[in-house]
Chain A
Amino acid sequence: MQDTHYLLLFITVMATATFVTRALPFILLYKISDHPMLLYLGRYLPPVMMVLLLCYCFRDLRFSAFTDGPAELLALALVVRLHLWRGNALLSIMAGTGLYMFLCQSSLPGL
């Protein structure tokens, strides 16, 4: 597998394909960027995307063990509660992650 030439071509192809997917809307929709439908989607897509990305992070949960669902929900509940209370993004995220790491590492050693 020490084929550097192949690896460099591979990286070039993948970098180009990734950039194309990110750039296409800017190229295709530039002329109609103030169309009411785009403004409407531009307003409602971010909230929808946040929820979808959140669910995507948890797509593999099966609730078969404590750290396969309940721990995630508990930590997420802390994030929501803290964020509604203090509104400090960093605090909410760090506290939630801290709790999750604690639950992960203490309840199931060696996981």
Chain B
Amino acid sequence: MNRALLLTAFKTTFPVLFGYIPMGMAFGILFNELGFHWIYATLMATVIYAGAGQFMAVGLLANHAGLIEVAITTLLLNSRHLFYGISLINKFKTRWWRKFYLIFGLTDETYSLLTGTRPPEETQKTDFYLLITALNHSYWVIGSTLGALLGANLSVDTAGLEFTLPALFMVLAIEQYKSVRESRPFVMAAGVAFLSIWLFSRDNMLLMSILLSIVILLLFRRAKRPNMRLKKGSL
């Protein structure tokens, strides 16, 4: 693993650094209020490594929720991850602990980077993916630990710093457009997102809109298969 690759990976994950540190800190600060030792925030960030999941965990811990409830809520909340693997099955050409770690670290942001960026060289693909995963993971652990350690004593005004994450998704959407060269998936997804926010609760919109999008994608595939060679419409 060479230094140039590490530098490229660091540059690639830089926006996630600015998203994960404040987000992790927000989790740590909330967790701190439960009265547990800060080391458990570090432990959670290390072994669970899920943004929304850990925020939910604070609520569940405060209510002393049953472990079955914890398992079911986590499975439901993270069910969107089920669809991330589909795009990556053929990309993770490695085995054992490397594959285990790549799968373990598959957060929204890591998935976005792995599907939206190219390794400098094809031969370094696995190392590049591992570095991106490990860097993102470390930002999250650092942020969570800092938040829990400093607790409410924090005085830095980081309001608005969390905008790095939507900005990252926007940039990656543009990069996806450059490689897919079709606008229909984007228009469809935006339509589905608005529809889901309107139809379902704001917190359920992500999973519902993923399911709806997959149904539409599959219907569309069937409908357009006979005339695949036709010119692709612009909208």
Contacts and interface: CB of A to CB of B under 8 A. Distances in A.
A33 B89 CA distance: 6
A23 to B, nearest CB: 5
B71 interface: yes
A54 B161 CA distance: 16
A58 B190 CA distance: 12
B122 to A, nearest CB: 18
Given A24-B82, A45-B87, A59 B71 contact: no
Interface string B1-39: 000000000011011001000000000000000111000
Secondary structure of the B side of the interface?
Answer: helix
Interface residues of A, number: 72
Given A52-B206, A54-B166, A45 B83 contact: yes
- For the complex of A and B, 6 pairs with smallest distance between CB atoms: A25-B85, A55-B193, A101-B160, A51-B189, A104-B160, A17-B74
Interface of A: 1-4, 6-7, 9-11, 13-26, 29-30, 33-34, 37-60, 72, 75-76, 79-80, 83-84, 89-90, 92-94, 96-97, 100-105, 111
17 contacts: A1-B35, A6-B64, A16-B71, A23-B104, A26-B103, A41-B214, A42-B88, A42-B90, A45-B213, A50-B116, A55-B193, A56-B206, A76-B167, A76-B170, A93-B171, A97-B163, A100-B167
